Structure 1
Amino acid sequence: MIRNHPWRSLLLLVLLSALAWTWAERRELQAFPGILSAYSAKEFCSCRYVMEQSDGYCRSYVKQYLPLSELRDDPARARVVARGLGQTRTAVWIGPRQGCRLISGG
């Protein structure tokens, strides 16, 4: 088969390697969707409430290659909600010494 179809054999080898890598990294790949929203919520909260920057500046600061479907700032409660890749994470400002803390869910 290899001698008669070298490109098919190479494609099959690449496909099998990709499947093996995916299986080996399955836990990390499952965690990835939550990382985008968690990072964005925490960094926006820190930018906005710890560093006291403007809303526009902080939105551009946390902008990623993968877009968020929602980034909501609640200044009255010092709370930020970020939603991306189907996951929602919330960060809340605790105080000047503690900064922002990521809390579970939305």
Structure 2
Amino acid sequence: MNARKSFIRRRPFSSLVLLLLVIIAGLIWNWRVQLQVFPSIISAYTAKEYCSCRFVMNAPAEYCHSYVKQWLPSTIDEDSLSKRITATGLGRESTAQWEGPRQGCRLLPPVP
């Protein structure tokens, strides 16, 4: 009998887990820019779509809340006088402003 078996033969499950961790680490490194931007997408989508629902389609607030509801939680603050929507999700905040009947809503640049 060979006393020196390879690590893979001695521990096949551990070897598979180690290989999967290396692959996942490689994917995370490859997609690092996209993963950093993802949290901003949630709040931006919510602000823009809610603004369009409320001020372009003139739908009631209850309908628009259900229209933009996502699996990930977000909060919505509406300023009806200035027609501005601020949405927060995953720790990021985005604001959309109604520009007019022909322009609709647009996202405002983040405040530093």
CA–CA separation in structure 2 for the residues paired with 1:13 and 1:81: 43
The aligned counterpart of 2:108 is 103
Structure-2 residue corresponding to 1:45: 51
1:71 counterpart residue number: 76
TM-score (ref. length: structure 1): 0.97
2 CA distance for matches of 1:87 and 1:76? 24
* Aligned twin of 2:63: 57
Q: 1:79-90 to 2 correspondence within 5 Å? A: 79-90=84-95
Q: Offset of 1:100 from its aligned partner? A: 0.1
Large movers: runs of 4+ above 4 Å: none
The CA RMSD measured in Å over matched residues stands at: 0.8
Number of corresponding residues: 105
- Tell which structure's C-alpha radius of gyration is larger: 2
Structure 2 gaps of 5+ residues are: 1-6
Q: By how many angstroms is 1:50 displaced?
A: 0.4
Question: 1:26-78 CA distances to partner (integer Å, 9 max, x unpaired)?
Answer: 0000000000000000000000000000000000000000001x210111010
Q: What is the deviation of 1:10?
A: 0.3
Question: How far off is 1:104 after superposition?
Answer: 1.8
In 1, the alpha carbon distance for the partners of 2:103 and 2:96 equals 12
Q: Which runs of 5+ in 1 are unaligned?
A: none
Which residue, 9, 12, 19 being the options, matches 1:6? 12
Report the CA distance between 1:105 and its aligned residue. Answer: 2.4
For 1:36 and 1:60, the matched residues in 2 are separated by 15
Percent identity over the alignment is: 50
Distance of 2:20 and 2:73 partners within structure 1:
30
Provide TM-score, normalisation by structure 2: 0.92
